[in-house]
Amino acid sequence: MSRRNKELSMRKIREILRLSMCCGLGNREVARSCGVSHTVVNRHIARARGAGLSYQQIEGIDDSELKRLLKGKRHLRSRSVRPLPDWGWKDQALNELFTSIHVASSMALLSLIILHILGALHHGMTAEESVLRRMLPLTNNKLQATSHKQQVTSNK
């Protein structure tokens, strides 16, 4: 069984939380002390904070209840729906204006990128003069021109 899939004992989890919450050690110090990675320490501390637990509460509950509270509901983070940052203005109408400008300009930029890609594919498939080949780096024509320039400069 790999170490990654190994579940920590409740004793070790309680020790992680104690060292962090009571002793005030940093996450990397706790990790060294408990023999786990700092990401494991971060994860358990974040779960305890997310459950709203203080160390006094943790001491007063049994292992099965602590495990249940730390597991909690896991929400899948959606990368497609993230709130836009507050633009810094206290006026809500101004914030909404800049948010709508931000969304509209990002959609326009995305549309232009897609249009550019489609145009390049169109020229690559239908144009007789091989526009796409001239756009690509180090194709045969550019390779021959580069080698010709190198020969001319070396002969001088």
Tally of structural domains, the chain:
2
Residue 78 lies in a domain: no
**How many angstroms separate the CA atoms of 71 and 65, rounded?**
10
The whole-model pTM stands at 0.45
Look at 22 and 145; give whichever has higher pLDDT.
22
24, 67: one domain: yes
Integer CA distances (angstroms), 120 to 14, 35, 105, 116, 130, in order: 59, 55, 23, 6, 11
148 pLDDT tier (thresholds 50, 70, 90): low
Residue 53 lies in a domain: yes
Residue 52 lies in a domain: yes
Residue type, 125: M
In this predicted model, what pLDDT tens digit does every residue of 45-91 receive, in sequence order?
888 888 888 888 888 888 888 888 888 655 555 556 666 666 676 77
In this predicted model, what pLDDT tens digit does every residue of 106-124 receive, in sequence order?
999 999 999 998 887 887 7
Domain that holds residue 141: 105-155
Residue 40 lies in a domain: yes
- Domain end call among 25, 47, 71: 71
